[in-house]
Amino acid sequence: MAKTIQAIRGMNDCLPTQSPLWQKLENTVKNVISAYGYSEVRMPIVEETNLFSRAVGEETDVVSKEMYTFDDRNGDSLTLRPEGTAGCVRSCIQNSLINRDEQRVWYMGPMFRHERPQKGRYRQFHQCGVEVFGLNGPDVDAELIMMTARLWRELGIDKHVRLELNSIGSVEDRADYRTALVAFLEKHVDILDDDSKRRMHTNPLRVLDTKNPDIQAILGDAPRLSDYLGEESKQHFSGLCELLDAAGIEYTVNQRLVRGLDYYNRTVFEWITESLGAQGTVCGGGRYDGLVEQLGGKATPAVGFAMGLERLVLMLETLELTDVRRSVDVYVVTAGEGTMMAGLKLAESLREQVPGLRVMSHFGGGNFKKQFKRADKVGAAVALVLGENEVADGTVVVKDLIGGSQDTLSHSDVITKLSQLV
């Protein structure tokens, strides 16, 4: 036998047993976002490498360590998108969507990062992101957070996530803070690990993000970013907090929350769960008012978030919120001369008369017993049986696979009965 080929490490199949839960999650996400009037955009999965180094930042983990970058046949450097915001901004600029108008958009799809695969962390994973362009105020930041809060309620996970919030100010605010922070870090340089030492010069705010407990311990005495916020940043943040309070959304302000990507300013937030172990951030976002201009567009304020769908699926599984709609309602069983054609016709007419009904036809022959076994295996609620007698009389035997009862009905009665399954 030929050697089998395996999927790439960290890149998973979504199997028929798993896809119903994924579809339920994706549909819930789409419905919630649509309820706010946002529209979908679909961007390519591959972009010029420059886009990500410019937008996400050379010094971030994503760009410096995690990207899938390759030269294509023309020698151009291309990258499998590690996140969606950069491509979304590129698309909106290129297609003149944000010159005059505001835009409220969302996207969903695979992202790629070369990380160590583990629970909740994969090399191909899926995000749904929402981005708003052209609006300045904290009202839209609040709406995005309210949208995520609604989604957690719809999914039934709202009691298992908490919101952390911070303001990282403007570029100018951060420049002052940066000087103070570097001076502080230099005093404690003997405690810093290699990553933090490097970041101290390239991107010192990222040191606040460290997972190293020794460094975390000294950071309690570090200068606080909130003391360096300018008046406008402060007002924006207190405006947001007031709106969230009024909406009844609980949050904690986490001074150390800076987020891993360089493009953020002012508002940053994360939704975190304790039910997944170390990979606890299910959604993260914030403002990125400088990015559109940085990528060659007209200066345009922007705010957005992205959530990791694998982590949400894991949460639904952990919390046993896995009830999904049956994939097959009705299984059509036939045996005898001329019954296959009658069975196919019956299945087609059911799909027409009972919209939403999921009808599977049996193929490959076999006796009734074998066919009923198959019907059970696919999880059908009802088997419809057509033998030569039924075809001759224009009737159908309806076998309830859950209750066990059995009736012979006319086609129109079958339709009435099956309508209850949808």
What is the binding site for ligand ATP (CB under 6 A)? 83, 113, 115, 120-122, 125, 127, 260-261, 279, 281-284, 306-308, 310-311
In terms of CB distance, is 223 or 280 closer to ligand ATP? 280
Residue 126 beta carbon to ligand ATP: minimum distance, rounded to whole angstroms: 8
**H or E stretch covering 236:** helix 231-246
In terms of CB distance, is 155 or 380 closer to ligand ATP? 155
**HSE-CB of 73 using CA atoms within 13 angstroms:** 0
CA-closest candidate to residue 375, choices 315, 305, 327, 338: 327
Residue 238 beta carbon to ligand ATP: minimum distance, rounded to whole angstroms: 25
CA-closest candidate to residue 69, choices 78, 81, 82: 78
Residue nearest to ligand ATP (CB): 308
Is-contact 50 118, C-beta < 8 A? no
Residue 338 beta carbon to ligand ATP: minimum distance, rounded to whole angstroms: 53
In terms of CB distance, is 41 or 350 closer to ligand ATP? 41
Q: What is the CA radius of gyration of the chain?
A: 27
In terms of CB distance, is 125 or 228 closer to ligand ATP? 125
d(CA 250, CA 21): 28
Residue 84 beta carbon to ligand ATP: minimum distance, rounded to whole angstroms: 9
CA-closest candidate to residue 125, choices 261, 11, 9, 260: 11
Residue 52 beta carbon to ligand ATP: minimum distance, rounded to whole angstroms: 12
CA-closest candidate to residue 65, choices 129, 116, 109, 126: 116
CA-closest candidate to residue 66, choices 147, 5, 124, 152: 124
Residue 75 beta carbon to ligand ATP: minimum distance, rounded to whole angstroms: 29
In terms of CB distance, is 125 or 133 closer to ligand ATP? 125
In terms of CB distance, is 102 or 154 closer to ligand ATP? 154
Residue 303 beta carbon to ligand ATP: minimum distance, rounded to whole angstroms: 14
In terms of CB distance, is 65 or 326 closer to ligand ATP? 65
d(CA 125, CA 62): 14
CA-closest candidate to residue 157, choices 27, 319, 28, 305: 319
Is-contact 91 45, C-beta < 8 A? no
In terms of CB distance, is 200 or 312 closer to ligand ATP? 312
Residue 123 beta carbon to ligand ATP: minimum distance, rounded to whole angstroms: 7
d(CA 315, CA 120): 10
Is-contact 276 120, C-beta < 8 A? yes
